Amino acid sequence: MQPVETVYVEAETVPCDGGPNPALGHPRVFLNMEGRGQVDCPYCGRRYILREGAKAGHGH
């Protein structure tokens, strides 16, 4: 299954709420790549990919 949208990010942990499209909206969840460099949202199918050169590690 192809991702609905691919989003390049600067951190391994990202929030997702389905984005601006109300049809894809869902409760806000925090997704963790856990060293894999990418993660797909189980609700809306967005794929988040860690940008090349971004620091892998935990926020806060």
Closest C-alpha among 60, 58, 56 to residue 37: 56
Backbone phi, psi, residue 50, to 5°: -70, 125
Choose the CATH number for 6-50 among 3.30.470.10, 2.170.190.11, 3.30.70.360, 2.60.260.40.
Answer: 2.60.260.40
Please tell me the pTM assigned to this model: 0.80
- Digit-by-digit pLDDT tens for the chain (60 residues) are 677 899 999 999 999 998 776 665 799 999 999 999 999 999 989 999 999 988 665 554
Vertex 30 angle, CA 27 and 33, to 5°: 140
Ranges of each domain in the chain: 6-50
